[in-house]
Amino acid sequence: MCRLFAITSKTPLSPMVAVQALDVMREGHDGSGVGLFLRDLGGPFEEIKDAPILSGIFTDAGLKRLDAFMMDIGFMTKYKITIKVPKTTPPGVPRRDVYLIRAYEYPEEWEGLPAAELERRLLRTRLQLRQMGEEKQDMIVFSFWPDVIMLKEIGDPLTVARYLNLDRKELRARVIMAQGRQNTNYAINLYACHPFFIQGLATMTNGENTAFVPIREFLSSRGFEGYIGYQSDSEVFTHILHYTLHSLGLGIEAYKHVITPLMDEAIAAHPDAIMLKHLKHSCRRLIIDGPNCVIGCLGDHSLFMVQDRKKLRPGVVGGRPGIYAFSSEVCGLDAAIPDRDKSKDFQPMHLDTVIVGPDRQEIETCSQIDPLPRVA
Amino acid sequence: MLADRPITPSSLSVKDLPWQIAWDKEKCALCGRCTAVCPVQAIELGVFRKRLLTPSLDPKQQTGNTFATWYGVRQKTDPAHRCVGCAMCAMVCPNDAILPMRSDEADKLRFHINQGGQPRNRGGRRNMPGGILDRIKFTRISMLTDPALDAGRHEFELRTLLGRVLPPEQNLRFLRENGWIPPVRDIYPLVIGGMSFGALSPNMWEGLQLGVTYLNEELGLPVRICTGEGGCPPRLLRSRFLKYVILQIASGYFGWDEIIHAIPEMKEDPCAIEIKYGQGAKPGDGGLLMWYKVNKLIAAIRGVPAGVSLPSPPTHQTQYSIEESVAKMILSMSMAWGFRVPVYPKISGTSTALAVLNNLTRNPYAGGLAIDGEDGGTGAAYNVSMDHMGHPIASNIRDCYQTLVALGQQNELPLFAGGGVGKSGNLAANAAALIMLGASGVQVGKAIMQAAAGCIGSEADRCNICNIGQCPKGITSQDPRLYRRLDVDDVAQRLVDTVLSFDTELKKIVAPLGRSTSLPIGMSDAVGIDDYHAAKRLDIRFVV
């Protein structure tokens, strides 16, 4: 089982807050790896919110190929963070040449492009880099998106964080998602490490996705270039979210109706019965069936959490106006936000979607039996 | 046998027959029930004469012969009266004095069962036990990475969809814009496959309909039943129970005059319309109801004269090409019910199934595809068709599903698999295996007949005389003296028992795989097989 932790705060926080929360929950994960997603960045990136940031791990040769490739398209480096690591690696952590976090200036020809086209090109660039890296095993690319940094590495989360010296000003962020990873199903591969990212959306999941193969087949056959990978059965949660929001044009409230639809009797009694029945029928291939807790971040910086239909995984949300955290366990929440009204902590159940919006003022909950917001 | 009895090429001894009657003189009470019940008159009263030697050691007394006569059961050996192994004689014998025994070697009858140049014609199934479905195992068991679900306590919704499912984007757009959204039925994944009124006795048909109604209305299990090609009784057409029925139209169009005329009086739409183009038991051959079974009632429902054989043509008379005629037929049928009823074709398993499938994917009115594999059963067909023609269902379904995946249309055009599901009694395991290979549901016939009505047919060529209307259990007979053996309520009760136990077993299979809220269609990572080539062919795990 993995452990998840996400936090959203008015003032930028060090990633160590999340890593320490994971460490408190260490009984629940095997410390085989860590994945970090940082957004709404503080520090130097505050000034360059629109510049796409490339996050990944490169060999020296890979870095050269990256530079040539990016220059060729017309990307200019705007800002970069250099992570200098000690000479000796901690046990279980592989030696890497370069942990890259680099903000770029858009190519001149890209200026004035409609947002959708820009997003498509950013995705395509990331996929091209990923493919190049897979060919020569010299690059691993996590994200290429404005105001987003991702970092993943094999090893115990706290050890890795100290080794990479993550407690630094440049990495402060208002939204942080972190996952302590246990890799039970698939070979150790950083592309299998949560959180997963696609076009501004990120999710991480606790639990196994038993319906993985049919869902993967559905997503892969959509003809959308970004639906690839699937080294982990949890990556489909990110892509289903993307599909729900982008292709179906629905809101986050509908996400749970896609992955864990109501039973037929409950749909019949729902004010949006007709729409939900059609959604259930046509999205039947996206129904998850595993014990899963999904925590995700939307394009507007909202954080959300949903549970599987049987609510078989732990998950709690708590905090106070200005700072809220989503955690697999209460002890993780206690470690990050000890001074909160614990009576207001919320553990979403099988029908709930919990959202903390970009204003970070309250925990919003919506139940699947509530009417859906009117879609224009 | 008399010494001068002529021996012809087709003279057979009891030893040459597939079934030999073992009869115990000591136990026999000479009640005559066995000879009376035998559906093929394979046994008759025998008068036996025995010479008794009476030797004497006393030279005064003469040594000599006496002759005794006794009565018993004699087995006939001519092909027309061969024992079919049904063992009804054993069932009625009060003293357990009689039993048909399977010959210990291949029979010689098979070379002679074409007298007058007529190849063997029979009912039943392919005489080949076992099959690949029984060898598929469910290997992906959730335990620690993921707690197994509780088949007894968790909520389950193991339903499937019959009818064309639109891609999500299109479905939501049509919903907003009031476009036409094809009708879709939310049904149980076990469908009782097409067995016609005529092939089945009235009691059997009524029992199945009664059971299906009970399953739907009392137990909430939306099990559907297909009529087969024989029309539908007029009262059922005009009842609310029609919604549980899939009406089948096949190349003989039997009963469709009645159905079409009943449309204005229908209280409910039927569940779906199945256009039968082929049948697994006799691919490329039409339906057949032999004259023995065409009595007045059957003739009336089908709209034909009584007492004549009813061979449906191998293909629909209007059929010119799949592009035109199948599309037209699907459209006509859709139109007849105002596009409110799913219409789908059923074909026999064939290596050309993909061509049919590809065509259907481009036809927005096609509501699915049912494929009937080589192990499908029939009321009447040539033995050669049953035993040697057709395609196994597993690879046919898998190929079709994978083609749909490549097109991104998996489950949009639901595939229903039939033919040998539950052949060896493993109904739930076979169904689950086919579902995980990509079927949206299964069609079952023989297994239901065996479980719900006690059909005694087997792959060892036992009984299999459904064609001549002499079914000893009254399942496939139109003779009231035979079908009154079958109680309508008992059939309904047994059908309900069978489906309920199937439901529990299906849950016992999917729960440990971590599935409960949706039918695991295409969950091919969950299954494996101990045959390397089969695993390769089906694109599943090879496990030893």
Contacts (Cβ under 8 Å, ≥6 apart) of B46: B71, B72, B73, B74
**In chain A, what residues touch B154 (CB-CB under 8 Å)?**
310
CA distance B392 to chain A (A): 24
**How crowded is the C-beta side of A154, counted as CA atoms within 13 Å?**
14
Ranked by mean pLDDT, the top range of A30-34, A80-84, B278-282, B312-316 is B278-282
Asked if B138 and B293 touch (Cβ cutoff 8 Å), the reply is no
Residue from A331, A328, A370, A335 nearest A352 by CA: A370
Lowest mean pLDDT among A51-60, A76-85, A100-109, B202-211: A76-85
Mean pLDDT confidence for A316-343 = 96
CATH 3.30.70.20 fits B14-110, yes or no: yes
Per-residue pLDDT at A115 exceeds 80: yes
Tell me whether residue B267 is exposed, middle or buried, using C-beta atoms within 10 angstroms of its C-beta: 0 to 12, 13 to 18, 19 or more: exposed
Going by pLDDT thresholds of 50, 70 and 90, the confidence category of residue A376 is very low
For the A3-49+147-367 domain, the top CATH level (class) is alpha beta
Question: Would you kindly state where each structural domain of chain B is located, as residue ranges?
Answer: 14-110, 132-542
Contact B171 A281 (CB under 8 A): yes
Inter-CA distances, B6 with B2, B9, B49, Å = 9, 10, 21
Confidence (pLDDT) at B505: 96
What are the tokens at B515?
A: 């599935």
Nearest CA in chain A to B158: A263
Q: What is the CATH number of domain B132-542?
A: 3.20.20.70
- Token look-up 């690319």 returns A141
R_g of chain A computed on alpha carbons: 20
Question: Would you kindly state where each structural domain of chain A is located, as residue ranges?
Answer: 3-49+147-367
Contact A281 B517 (CB under 8 A): no
Q: Which of B216, B517, B521, B540 to mutate to test the interface with A (most CBs of A within 10 A)?
A: B517
Confidence (pLDDT) at A183: 58
Inter-CA distances, B241 with A73, A307, B254, B268, B271, Å = 67, 40, 21, 8, 10
- pLDDT > 70: percent of chain A: 97
Contact B172 A278 (CB under 8 A): yes
Contact B518 A264 (CB under 8 A): no
R_g of chain B computed on alpha carbons: 26
Q: How many DSSP H helices and E strands does chain B contain?
A: 16, 21
pLDDT digits over B450-468, tens only?
999 999 999 999 999 999 9
Q: What is the residue type of A125?
A: T
Confidence (pLDDT) at A129: 97
ipTM here: 0.93
Average confidence (pLDDT) per 10 residues, chain B, 544 residues: 76 95 96 96 95 86 86 94 96 97 94 94 93 95 73 89 97 96 98 95 97 98 96 95 97 93 97 95 89 92 92 79 81 96 96 94 96 95 94 97 96 96 96 98 97 95 94 95 96 98 96 91 97 98 97
Measure the CA–CA gap between B48 and B541, rounded to whole angstroms.
Answer: 62
**In chain B, what residues touch A223 (CB-CB under 8 Å)?**
408
Contact B410 A217 (CB under 8 A): yes
Contact A208 B517 (CB under 8 A): no
Confidence (pLDDT) at B162: 98
Measure the CA–CA gap between A99 and B186, rounded to whole angstroms.
Answer: 52
Contact A211 B523 (CB under 8 A): yes
Per-residue pLDDT at A182 exceeds 90: no
Mean pLDDT confidence for A163-189 = 83
Measure the CA–CA gap between B226 and B195, rounded to whole angstroms.
Answer: 7
Nearest CA in chain B to A219: B408
Confidence (pLDDT) at B60: 87
Confidence (pLDDT) at A184: 52
Contact A289 B165 (CB under 8 A): no
**In chain B, what residues touch A264 (CB-CB under 8 Å)?**
157, 159, 186
Report residue B416: phi and psi, to 5°: -115, 130
What are the tokens at A243?
A: 């599909």
Q: Which of A243, A267, A278, A375 to mutate to test the interface with B (most CBs of B within 10 A)?
A: A278
What are the tokens at A136?
A: 């020569």
Compare CB distances from A184 to B145, B166, B515 and report the shortest one's residue: B145
Contacts (Cβ under 8 Å, ≥6 apart) of A330: A316, A318, A345
Higher pLDDT, A227 or A206: A227
Residue B34 region by backbone torsions, left for phi larger than 0, else alpha for psi between -120 and 50, else beta: alpha
**In chain B, what residues touch A214 (CB-CB under 8 Å)?**
410, 520-523
Confidence (pLDDT) at A192: 86
**In chain A, what residues touch B146 (CB-CB under 8 Å)?**
207-208, 210, 290-291
Binding-site residues on chain B for chain A (CB distance < 8 A): 140, 142, 145-147, 149, 154-155, 157, 159, 161, 165-169, 171-172, 175, 181, 184, 186, 405-408, 410-411, 513-518, 520-525
pLDDT digits over B14-54, tens only?
999 999 999 999 999 999 999 999 999 999 999 999 998 88
Nearest CA in chain A to B527: A213
Binding-site residues on chain A for chain B (CB distance < 8 A): 184-185, 207-208, 210-214, 217-218, 221-223, 243, 247-250, 260-261, 263-264, 274-275, 278-279, 281-285, 287, 289-291, 309-310, 312
**In chain B, what residues touch A212 (CB-CB under 8 Å)?**
525
Asked if B457 and B124 touch (Cβ cutoff 8 Å), the reply is yes
Nearest CA in chain B to A289: B515
Contact A310 B181 (CB under 8 A): no
Contact B157 A263 (CB under 8 A): yes
**In chain A, what residues touch B165 (CB-CB under 8 Å)?**
281-282, 284
**In chain B, what residues touch A260 (CB-CB under 8 Å)?**
517
- Token look-up 């079934």 returns B19
Nearest CA in chain A to B437: A214
